Amino acid sequence: MAAESVGDRLDETTCDRLRNRVTTVGSREALPVTAPYTNEVVGTVPRCRPADIDAAVDRARSAQSAWAARSVENRATVLKRFADSVLANRERLLDVIQVETGKTRLDALAEVLDVVLTADYYAENGPEQLAGSRRGSRLPGLTRVETHHDPVGVAGFVEPWNYPLTLAISDFLPALLAGNTVVLKPAEETPFTALLAHELLVEVGVPEETVQVVTGEGEPLGEPLVAGVDQITFTGSTETGRAIGSLAGKHLVDASLELGGKNPAIVLADADLDAAVRALVWGSYANAGQLCLSFERIYVEQSAYAEFRDRFVEATASRSLGATFDFGPNVGSLISEAQRSVVETHVEDARARGATVLTGGERREDVGPLFYEPTVLADLPAEATAATEETFGPVVTIEPVADATAGVRQANATDYGLHASVWTADRERGRSLARQIRAGSVSVNDAFAGMWASTDAPMGGVGDSGIGRRHGPEGISKFTETQTVTSQRGPPLVPIDAVPAGIVARGAILGIGAVRRLKRRFPPWL
C-alpha cells in the first residue's frame, strides 16, 4: 500500500480540525498516532495531563443540568439524528477507523452499523426504560410506592483501540439518553475515530460541553478520571480492569468492566459442519482476532474431529490478507508491534512445547509491517501460554473431546467467562448445554453476530471477564440512580405513645397476618 493512500484517508487538515476537540487547559506534548497498514505517523493529539481530566469533568458537570433538563424524548430524537448522521458519513468513518486500526473495511463497517443499531434501540426503548413506575406495597391501601430514575451525573469512559467507534461511542449513548454528560478517554492508538464521532454528535444537536474527550496514555489519567466522575465504564484487559475496579472502590464510584476472554466453541458430532466451519472461521479471525468475543479454543466431539479440523484448516488457509480500503480482504493488520509480539510469543511457546501448527504461524510483512497469518494450533499442552492466556490475535486451538460433557468441562476450565458457542443439530440440546457454560453470553449455532445484534439483551462477562452489562435495560440503568418515593394515605406508620408497646406489637403481627391471608385469597387485586 502506498503511504500517500493512508494520508489521503486521514489528511493533515482533518487531523488538525479534530485535534482541536480535545479538552486541554494548556499546551501539551504531541502524542503520535500511527497507521498500522504502513507503520507511519498520520497525525498527533495532545498528551493530556490530570489537570485536563479535572477540567473535562468540571465542564461536563457544569453542562449536565441543562442536558438533563431536556425531555427524554428530545434526547432520544438527538440519538436518532446521530444514527442518521453515522450512516450518511459512513465512508469518512470507515476511512478513519481503518487508518487507525488496520482492520478490514468489512470489520470497520460492523462498527458503524453497531452504532446505528445501538442509537436506534435506545432512542426507541430508552424513554420507556427510564420512565418512573408504580411499585407494589406490602401494606395495600395504606402506602403508595413509586420509583424514578435520575442520571448519575457525569459518566466516565476508558475505551480500547480494537473497536474505537463501537466501544467508545455505543457505550456512552445510553448514558447520554439518561441525562448524563460524558468524559471519554479513547485509546491513544485510535483517538481520531472518537473525535470524528464527537464532531458528528455536536452537528446533530448534542451541546459541545456535554461530551468531553481527553487523549493520552491511561496510567496518568485513570485515577483522576475515576475520582472525578460518578460512574466509570472500562473495556480492556483484566489486569487494567482490576486497577480501575480498585480505584472505583476507593472513590465509591460504580463501575462497569468488560475485560478479557478465552472464548470456547463446542462442536458436537451432529452439527452442520459446513455452517460451523464458516461461522467459526469468521468468528475467530474477525478483526485479526483482536476482538473480545472471538474464539481461541474449539472443542470438537471425537467422531467429527478429523473432518472438522481438516475443513477448518482449509478455510483458515484460504483467508485473504490485505491492507486496502476496499471490501476485498478477509483479515487485516494487527494494531502494533507490541500486539504482534504477544501473538508471536504465544505461537513460538506453543511450538517449543510440542504443539502442531496446522496452518499459519508466520509474519506476513509482504502484506504489511504488522500482518500475521491466521493460525491453527493442535496438540497444545495445558501448560502452554496460549492454552490459558488470552492471545488477542489470529490464533485458534482445536482439540478433540469425548462428548458434550467433556466439551463443557473444557470450556469451563478457565478463569474467564465472556462468550461461548455451541453447535448441534438439536437446538434444544444446544440451549441446555449453553446453560451449563460459565459465560455471560452463549450463541447456539452462531458465532456471536446474532447475540451482539440483540440489543435488547444484556452482554458482559463473569469471572475474570468483568462485571456489568452493556445493551438492553441493564445497559442504561447503570447510568441512573433510582429514587423511591412512598406516600401515606392514612396516618404515619409510627407507634402511638398512648398505646402500650406490647399491644402495638400484637396489632402489627395480626395486621401482617391479615394482609398475607388476603394476598393469598385475592392476589390479582393486592
Question: Which positions are annotated as active-site residues?
Answer: 258, 292
C-alpha span between 114 and 119 (Å, rounded): 8
Count, in order, helices (H) and strands (E) of the chain. 20, 18
* CA proximity to 197, closest of 100, 272, 266: 100
Indicate if the alpha-carbon torsion angle 194, 197, 202, 207 is positive or negative.
Answer: negative
C-alpha span between 120 and 289 (Å, rounded): 28
What's the distance, Cα to Cα, between the start and end of the chain in Å? 71
Contact by Cβ (8 Å): 78, 145: no
* Residues across the chain: 526
Give kind and range of the element (H or E) at residue 504: helix 501-521
Contact by Cβ (8 Å): 78, 211: no
Q: Which three cell numbers stand for residue 199?
A: 464532531
Contact by Cβ (8 Å): 420, 439: yes
C-alpha span between 35 and 371 (Å, rounded): 13
* CA proximity to 386, closest of 406, 408, 412, 357: 357
* CA proximity to 165, closest of 210, 129, 198: 198
Q: Which three cell numbers stand for residue 396?
A: 485458534
C-alpha span between 197 and 64 (Å, rounded): 20
C-alpha span between 257 and 311 (Å, rounded): 36
Helix (H, G, I), strand (E, B) or coil at 66: helix
Q: Mark 200-234 as b/e (b = at least 16 C-beta within 10 Å).
A: bbeebebeebbbbbbbbebeebbbbbbbbbbbbbb
C-alpha span between 352 and 516 (Å, rounded): 69
Q: Residues 6 or more apart from 249 whose CB is under 8 A from it?
A: none
Q: Residues 6 or more apart from 311 whose CB is under 8 A from it?
A: 273, 274, 277
Helix (H, G, I), strand (E, B) or coil at 169: helix
C-alpha span between 24 and 47 (Å, rounded): 9
C-alpha span between 350 and 389 (Å, rounded): 12
C-alpha span between 170 and 188 (Å, rounded): 18
Contact by Cβ (8 Å): 17, 24: no
C-alpha span between 331 and 402 (Å, rounded): 32
